Amino acid sequence: MSAKHIVNRTMLSVHAVSSNFKTQQLPQAWSKALKKNGDNRLQKKITAPMVIKWMHPPVGRLKLNVDGAFKSATGSAGGVGILGDHNGRCICAFAKSYQGTISALDAEARALRDGLAMCCSKGFLDIMVETDSLMLIQSVTGQSQHPWDLTCIFQEMAEINHKLTTQIQHIPREANQIAHHLAGYGCSTDQTCFWELEAVLPHIVKGPYQLDKVGGCSRKNLSTSAIDSSALAGRAGTAKSMGITGGTSTPGGGGGGATGTTSSTIGGTTVAGCTGAC
């Protein structure tokens, strides 16, 4: 390994650490101890850094990361999905612009629908899914009512998902950097882009992609939302609800998700009727 290569790898890691810091409150016992020892300048909460990264899926499984972007000022929107393996290698990815999009949730839902459709068309039927949109997760799992005018999109999503076995969870945006950068690319393109080789991915995502692939930073004291995935279309127009088998990801590496989170395996669903604006 050349010195130049070592320096480049080091700089990538430093960049990852510096750009992905989050903070958490210092334990109360530590704060009290500092005050007791005469540090009267401690007037506000002390925080400790928390580093975040994308986690590789377990060997033999694939992970789909999706994201949508919506610019209210111009009405432009786009969505993306990238499917990766346990080595962090891109299996396939897409980016596209959307017309007639009404909200960020609309763009996020379309991206998830199209990502599931991509996996289904390629014959990848057992996948893990990650999104940084908590609102999408809540709508997909029936924890909140999705807007009536998005009913058709959620029904289409459920029909595709009926053919798959999926496991979905919410992650912070910092762990979804490739999809996040590609979503902006999707907004700016006037065509549907599809990639099957990592070498031809847009330049804008090359940095985040390499960092995710080599595990450029580490995760510490981070937990993502634990989602029990119930019916995708568990609202008006639902014919059947999903079959669910609960599962738990193990803390540490290899789980493919956030450390210490729980997840659920989604079966299929069939949705009939459309009460929204089709």
CA dist 269 and 228 (Å) reads 15
Summarize pLDDT for 130-168 with one digit per residue, the tens: 999 999 999 999 899 999 999 999 999 999 999 999 999
- Can you give the pLDDT at residue 36? 66
Q: Give the pair of three-digit tokens for residue 179.
A: 């999809």
Q: Which residue has the higher pLDDT, 6 or 277?
A: 6
Domains recognised in the chain with CATH numbers: 3-51 (no CATH), 62-266 (3.30.420.10)
pLDDT at 120 over 70: yes
Q: Which residue has the higher pLDDT, 105 or 27?
A: 105
CA dist 242 and 265 (Å) reads 10
What value does the CA radius of gyration of the chain take, rounded to a whole number of Å?
Answer: 20
- Range in 79-88, 179-188, 261-270 the model is least confident about: 261-270
Angle in degrees, 0-180, between the axes of helices 177-188 and 206-214, rounded to the nearest 10: 160
CA dist 53 and 267 (Å) reads 28
Looking at every residue in the chain, the average pLDDT score rounds to 74
Helix (H/G/I), strand (E/B), else coil: 128: strand
Summarize pLDDT for 92-112 with one digit per residue, the tens: 999 999 999 999 999 999 999
Cα 253 to Cα 27, 219, 259, distances in angstroms: 25, 10, 8
Summarize pLDDT for 190-229 with one digit per residue, the tens: 888 999 888 788 888 888 888 888 776 644 444 444 433 3
- Predicted TM-score (pTM) of the model is 0.65
- Can you give the pLDDT at residue 187? 83
